[in-house]
Amino acid sequence: MVEAPAILLIEDDERGYTRTRALLRESFGDQLKLDWVRVWDETHAAIQEEAHDIYLVDYQLGRRDGVDLISAMSKIRFAAPFIVLTDNDCQEVDAEAMKSGAADYLVKSEITAPLLARAIRYAIERKRVERRLTFLAECDTLTGLANRAVFHSRLADAIAQAHRNDSVMAVLLLDLDQFKDVNDTLGHPVGDLLIQQAAKRLSQCTRASDTVARLGGDEFAVVATNLAQTEDITVLARKISEDLAEPFDLDGNLISTSASIGNTVYPLDNGDPHQILKHADLALYQAKRTSRGSFHYYDAELNAQAQQRKWLENQMRTALESQQFILYYQPKVNIVGGEVVGAEVLLRWRHPECGMVGPAQFIPIAESTGLIVPLGEWVVREASKQCVAWRRQGLPPIPLAINVSAVQFRRSELVESIAEIIEETQIDPTWLELEITESMIMDRVDPMMALLHRLHEIGIRLAIDDFGTGHSSLSYLRRFSVDTLKIDRSFVRNVENDADDATIAKAIISLGKSLNLRVIAEGVETERQLDFLREHGCEEAQGFFFSRPVSADDFAGWYRENEHCIGSANRVAILANEIDVSR
Ligand code: C2E
Ligand code: CA
Ligand code: CA
């Protein structure tokens, strides 16, 4: 048998009470649980107790009656539904009652025991369904935390409130650093357990007035209002970070994880909810980049950078088709014999407003948007055409070294696309060299080995750029089809005054020799650096000392002017110093 509901009757007239009790008795018998209050003040207190399943409210209650009573009722937050009992049938009152949230409206003279019992049961059941629907609409079902939609509305409320009261409010975004690993290795059910337990700890760290939400996956958010001072958020962030660092027991698996946290604090950070959230997100991104388990404040400078980046990103979308990219060439010189042995191809973006933009600024963006793939292809094609064109103009073959990014290498079509360009431009593949970095190889040793081997088979040469700066094992050098090592600029810069850098430079030179690789020093700016390199057996160099990177036309001009003196390294160097080739 279904348990009888706990009923609160709000009625000032004793006869009304007796009559209603009699009707209820008919339906619920001894099970009946009925409380009765007669005045408004008591009513309020009784409703606050939340001890009843339903309220039956008389339409006339002392001084309060009719619309007045109903509107007073509608201002209270009800845990249970209420039914209005009235003496006479009136459509207006009916409508008013419904608007105020009444579950039903019954005319006393028409009430029978079954009618009343049914109205009560329906009202309770409807409320239950309503609650469930609200829960589903507002809560994340896995954790019971607020969902994304509720989070957004609470955030907007919190900002408005902080603005009104001059108070401090903060948003914290966090995600679990090892969630993906747990999911991948132990399966989704265990991943879900981790999310649930993390949610529980998160709720325990926060106050009841804070909103804790799950935004999706392993991403959580906290809106903390009414902070005494901005530093409080640091305390909260630290507490959360420590609590989440404690191991989790997931079905017998002891798992340690950490949370990266991004914070932003109103009013230090001011803006609409959308902006504030974006700022917190930016801080989270920064936290994740710094180190696992760290937290990071949003700061305006970071934002300015991000905006600049966004702007460039947009500008770059059309830059390729509107031919804003151009290639510069920097000669590579044999410092023993003095001849030009090739050139490095360096990309430039000639922006209509910003002027010349350097690759350090736009390559990372192109990599993250994927534009690097068509852009990189364009570089290879353009450089190949140039190489062939110079040859047609009567210049000797000038091998070109092209920088390629890790993103390009991750695409399996790289080899095919280069092979196509070779076919199309009729360039001799041995005049092409690709510059890659150590980290590109070390990240994915096996697929890279295969890829480099295929490139080598086509006839393309390979150089390791910025050599000495990566954490790499030297053993791979033997296994890869590499032809050249480029000593990083940072070592060359200090060869004369830093013993360590000098040692590293020397070591790279002798390593290259022992493996039968060509060694080239980049970033040579002074004669003394050049002397050092030559003295220690380095045969090739590149740098401002010889020439800055210049346009194709300038490069050809420079080459022609220096043709007659090629053969003597010193003369090339001296000439380069005399003529300004740096434009
Ligand atoms: P990187 O491969 O290390 O290129 C050498 C950089 O050193 C170039 O900067 C060059 O202008 C500069 N440099 C040359 N000689 C000297 C010198 O004597 N002193 C000093 N201080 N610097 C010198 P740039 O052109 O700004 O290029 C920066 C980086 O952008 C390159 O570093 C390379 O990693 C990347 N990059 C350039 N072009 C491309 C490209 O077409 N594709 C890809 N994926 N990356 C490129
Ligand atoms: Ca390079
Ligand atoms: Ca380099």
Angle between helices 14-28 and 113-138 (to 10 degrees): 80
With 90 as the cut, is the pLDDT of residue 388 above it? yes
With 80 as the cut, is the pLDDT of residue 95 above it? no
Please tell me the predicted confidence (pLDDT) of residue 574.
44
With 80 as the cut, is the pLDDT of residue 237 above it? yes
How does pLDDT run across 431-440, given as a tens digit for each residue? 999 999 888 8
Run of H or E including 273? helix 273-290
With 80 as the cut, is the pLDDT of residue 269 above it? no
CA distance 288 to 176: 10
Average the pLDDT over 406-427 and give the result.
Answer: 91
Tell me the backbone φ, ψ of residue 580, rounded to 5 degrees.
Answer: -85, 110
Please tell me the predicted confidence (pLDDT) of residue 518.
95
Q: Is the peptide bond before 267 cis (omega within 30 degrees of 0)?
A: yes
Minimal CA–CA distance to 426: which of 381, 456, 471? 381
Instruction: Tell whether ligand 1 has an atom less than 6 A from the beta carbon of residue 347.
Output: yes
How does pLDDT run across 492-544, given as a tens digit for each residue? 999 998 988 999 899 899 989 988 999 999 999 999 999 999 999 999 999 99
CA distance 8 to 56: 6
pLDDT confidence tier of residue 243, bands split at 50, 70 and 90: very high
Least confident segment among 68-77, 155-164, 444-453, 462-471: 68-77
How wide is the angle at C-alpha 371 spanned by C-alphas 370 and 372, nearest 5°?
Answer: 85
Choose between 479 and 159: higher pLDDT. Answer: 159
Instruction: Tell whether ligand 1 has an atom less than 6 A from the beta carbon of residue 523.
Output: yes
CA distances from 104 to 67, 84, 173, 322 (A): 15, 6, 44, 69
pLDDT confidence tier of residue 579, bands split at 50, 70 and 90: very low
Instruction: Tell whether ligand 1 has an atom less than 6 A from the beta carbon of residue 360.
Output: yes
With 50 as the cut, is the pLDDT of residue 195 above it? yes
Run of H or E including 211? strand 211-216
Atom of ligand 1 nearest to the CA of 524: 18
Average the pLDDT over 8-31 and give the result.
Answer: 92
Please tell me the predicted confidence (pLDDT) of residue 439.
81
**Minimum CA distance residue for ligand 1 atom 16:** 523
Token digits for 302?
């970071």
Least confident segment among 172-176, 469-473, 490-494: 469-473
Measured distance between the N- and C-terminal CA atoms of the chain, rounded to whole angstroms: 94
With 60 as the cut, is the pLDDT of residue 92 above it? yes
Please tell me the predicted confidence (pLDDT) of residue 205.
93
How does pLDDT run across 330-350, given as a tens digit for each residue? 999 999 988 899 999 999 999
Instruction: Tell whether ligand 1 has an atom less than 6 A from the beta carbon of residue 191.
Output: no
Average the pLDDT over 151-162 and give the result.
Answer: 92
With 60 as the cut, is the pLDDT of residue 566 above it? no
**Minimum CA distance residue for ligand 1 atom 27:** 359
pTM, rounded to two decimals? 0.59
Instruction: Tell whether ligand 1 has an atom less than 6 A from the beta carbon of residue 237.
Output: no
Radius of gyration of the chain (CA): 38
492 CA to centre of ligand 3 in angstroms:
11
Do 536 and 504 touch, CB atoms closer than 8 A?
no
CA distances from 500 to 468, 492, 526, 530 (A): 12, 11, 19, 18
pLDDT confidence tier of residue 271, bands split at 50, 70 and 90: confident
CA distance 234 to 4: 51
Please tell me the predicted confidence (pLDDT) of residue 582.
37
486 CA to centre of ligand 3 in angstroms:
7
Instruction: Tell whether ligand 1 has an atom less than 6 A from the beta carbon of residue 504.
Output: no
Run of H or E including 396? none
pLDDT confidence tier of residue 563, bands split at 50, 70 and 90: low
449 CA to centre of ligand 1 in angstroms:
25
Instruction: Tell whether ligand 1 has an atom less than 6 A from the beta carbon of residue 525.
Output: yes
For every residue of 441-473, DSSP letters joined together read HHHTHHHHHHHHHHHHHHT-EEEEEEETSS---
